[in-house]
Amino acid sequence: MLNTAALRAHLVGAGLAGVVATTREASLRSYRLFAARDPRALIGIDPELAWGQRDLIELMARRCGVSADPRHTVGRDVIDPELTLAALAAFADRLGAAARRGACVLLGTGHPHRLIGFYAALADALSAAGCTVLTPAQGRCVDITTRFGLRTFRLVYVRGVGLVRPAGSERPGCEPGAHSHSPLPVRLALEAAADAGGPLPELVIGDHGWVCGAGQLGFEVMGLADTDDPALFVGQAEGRVSVVVPLDDAVRAAYYRPLTRYVLNRACLSQ
């Protein structure tokens, strides 16, 4: 396992933390949309408090390390690697606790191109530890509003991790899945699990709408989020998300492998 200094160096060198590819313009746009309660930015969270754009900038400065200066409007965003390291440790500790009690878990991602390997390794390790990795609503269709209009997707599980693919695209060599912020896939999965008489997840792990959609319904959730994903950090601030790891969620898939090793080792789940 990487020691803390080496992991910090990897985070910064790979662009996972430090100066990241996400732009300040993209982050500020997300904060404006969230403040206006646009569903595209809420991604399943129904805020209890009135979050203005300045409030969100201050929150993201505390939780991510972005600039707290509202006059800073252009350039690349910044994530404090110390905040990432602390959140990774908390993430691993909760993962280990779930494994020790043999919890039922649900994993899902809106970033299958980049993060499927990270979540799949967690699913494998949790299953080996005696946890039940749930896959409810496998193959079911869900309509999601995209920038191209309403599109039909199919909920599938790859190595125990939920994701969506365009309906009708299931074929050899197809893309691993669609990028999605929607909370509808996790709501479909949870509804199917409940209709089947359970079990329901004791912990949901993922990103985007998978975390916010389940957290809003009262499930324990934790996951990863970029600087332009304020909903997860608001959910954490309001007590509906347990852990959010701030990092760039769209770097090369291989760059997440050291994080996987660190989390599994700290959680005593290394195989």
> pLDDT tens digits for 71-91?
999 999 999 999 999 999 999
pLDDT for position 174: 56
Highest mean pLDDT among 125-129, 145-149, 150-154, 175-179: 125-129
Q: Is the pLDDT of residue 68 over 60?
A: yes
pLDDT class of 206 with cuts at 50, 70, 90: very high
Q: Is the pLDDT of residue 173 over 60?
A: no
pLDDT for position 1: 62
pLDDT class of 185 with cuts at 50, 70, 90: very high
Instruction: Please state, in angstroms and rounded to a whole number, the distance separating the CA atoms of residues 173 and 164.
Output: 16
Higher-pLDDT residue of 103, 177? 103
- Give the pLDDT mean for 256-271: 93
Considering only CA atoms, which of 218, 224, 188 is closest in space to residue 206?
Answer: 224
pLDDT for position 170: 56
Q: Is the pLDDT of residue 261 over 60?
A: yes
Q: Is the pLDDT of residue 43 over 50?
A: yes
Q: Is the pLDDT of residue 204 over 50?
A: yes
Q: Is the pLDDT of residue 188 over 80?
A: yes
Q: Is the pLDDT of residue 198 over 90?
A: no
pLDDT for position 271: 60
Q: Is the pLDDT of residue 159 over 50?
A: yes
What pTM was computed for the model?
0.95
Q: Is the pLDDT of residue 175 over 90?
A: no
Instruction: Please state, in angstroms and rounded to a whole number, the distance separating the CA atoms of residues 124 and 148.
Output: 35
- Give the pLDDT mean for 215-236: 98
Cα 261 to chain centroid distance, Å, stands at: 18
